[in-house]
Structure 1
């Protein structure tokens, strides 16, 4: 293999730039030509592909977002559309492609691999909802962003004796909510993987009030309900002064943490190694601090699982 390309797809996450940097510089180190595909799969279709040198990824490791940009491209599911992207790659002599993104991005990469372009996936999503890896790029940074906000909200919640409901991202996975609840000392967490009755939450808040507690923090994952809906439901069971904070896209932004920079760098370099070894149709990951590779079909065969022990611990420590 002499030429490879890299693209970022789906929702951006802090650390994507570090992953692209690692792919580019690792490839150049091994005398490969490397190209950047701008605007994700959309750029593959429109031929927005440019050769990259070391300088192209200079001063990028500390930046959030993705300088290659990203775009939703539902039409990439169509075989004729994908074929245009494949032809654009082949016209440049590109044999391998590294795709940084989440579940949807992996499905596009799998199709390309089946149709003649060797692909490797790198898990880039703050949701931490990809099988085959303990952590995804951007999760740690987003987690720290949430914790910082929770700490600040707790100050005002305590001052005004209020119950604050904080809605966090995560799509259909509860990792961000769970980890931030444990790290932020939240009284209650609602995640998609475990059903919890709102009356149970109200009873817990009432028990806290009876022992002198003046405020509460409830963290709700967007995959369960909105923060507003949670507040409305809570009012049916207890009369407390509530406020809702929806953190939204601030969770995706910001300079990546040291952990995310290192993780992304390891993933990017490993992806190049796999392509050079003529391996493809794989997603890289990390388990027990060891780099791993998993076939795309195995990633799609089951759903991401939450850490049940951590969920129990969060409930035990919030009593």
Structure 2
């Protein structure tokens, strides 16, 4: 290939810029020209592209968010709109595409693949919910942001002898809540993949009180329920007051951790290698610390599964 494009789609994640940088520099090393597509698939269908060279991706490896911006494009599901985008790319002599995003982004990518346009996917989402890979770009940074926030909340909880409910992101996947709960020593964690028992939550709070424990931290993934809803359930059933903190979009921002920068760099470079080998419809991933590639459809045809062993360990350690 002589010219490829890269875009970011869906929710932004720390490390996306590191992946963009890796795509551009790996391609440049092999004499391949790269253009960036602004605003995801919206830019793809409108031909909103900009040249990317060594200089234009300098100084972005440490920046959160995405240099290429991101936007959701519902009309991209239409065949005619997809064809329009492919035509725009061919007019610009673009021969292949790297898509950085989650399972929704991969669905759009596969639609292009079925129409004969080469695409390779790179998993970028803080939720860590792309099947086929153990980790996604942005998860480690978001996890560290949540743990740091919980540590600070615990200081206040201790000072005022209050129990806190911390609501974190995770609509369909509970990895952020689960990993943060274990790392921050939370007493209870609620995730979408596991049924919760309100009586058990209350029993933990009451058991702590009997041994003179002055505070507790409960982490709930947004896909289970809102933190305020859980607080009301506990108050109505047991008369126990709790404070609620919703971390929100702070979890998506910030400079990526070293782990995310390295992961993104490996993913971006490998995506270019796959396009150079003539592969398409593949997704980059990591398993047992080794880079892999697999059929992109696996990322949205299979369901994310939580680590049951980790969930059990969290409950055992929070006795």
* Range of TM-score over shorter length: over 0.9
CA shift at 1:212, angstroms? 1.0
Q: Which position in structure 1 is the counterpart of 2:252?
A: 252
Residue aligned with 1:240, SS: coil
- Confirm or deny that 1:229 pairs with 2:226: no
- Take 1:202 and 1:300, find their aligned partners in 2: how far apart are those partners? 36
Residue aligned with 2:297, SS: helix
CA shift at 1:170, angstroms? 1.4
- Confirm or deny that 1:149 pairs with 2:141: no
Residue aligned with 1:164, SS: strand
CA shift at 1:52, angstroms? 1.2
Q: Which position in structure 2 is the counterpart of 1:179?
A: 179
Contact 1:162 1:240 in 2 (8 A): no
- 1:236-284 superposed Cα distances (whole Å, 9 cap, x missing partner): 2323231100000000000000000000000000000000000110110
- Take 1:93 and 1:123, find their aligned partners in 2: how far apart are those partners? 26
Residue aligned with 1:35, SS: strand
- Take 2:122 and 2:198, find their aligned partners in 1: how far apart are those partners? 38
Aligned length: 319
CA shift at 1:5, angstroms? 0.4
Q: Which position in structure 1 is the counterpart of 2:268?
A: 268
- Take 2:261 and 2:271, find their aligned partners in 1: how far apart are those partners? 15
What TM-score does the superposition give when structure 1 sets the normalisation length?
0.99
- 1:77-115 superposed Cα distances (whole Å, 9 cap, x missing partner): 001111111001101111110000011100000111111
Contact 2:171 2:224 in 1 (8 A): no
- 1:35-61 superposed Cα distances (whole Å, 9 cap, x missing partner): 100110001111111121110101000
Mark the runs of 5 or more structure 1 residues left unpaired by the alignment: none
Q: Which position in structure 1 is the counterpart of 2:54?
A: 54
Q: Which position in structure 1 is the counterpart of 2:134?
A: 134
Residue aligned with 2:261, SS: helix
Q: Which position in structure 1 is the counterpart of 2:113?
A: 113
CA shift at 1:174, angstroms? 0.5
- Take 1:71 and 1:313, find their aligned partners in 2: how far apart are those partners? 38
Residue aligned with 1:131, SS: coil
Q: Which position in structure 1 is the counterpart of 2:96?
A: 96
Contact 2:173 2:193 in 1 (8 A): yes
Contact 1:177 1:191 in 2 (8 A): yes
Q: CA RMSD in A?
A: 0.7
- Take 1:299 and 1:140, find their aligned partners in 2: how far apart are those partners? 20
Contact 2:235 2:241 in 1 (8 A): no
- 1:171-220 superposed Cα distances (whole Å, 9 cap, x missing partner): 20000000000000000000011101112100111011001111000000
Residue aligned with 1:142, SS: helix
Contact 2:128 2:139 in 1 (8 A): yes
Mark the runs of 5 or more structure 2 residues left unpaired by the alignment: none
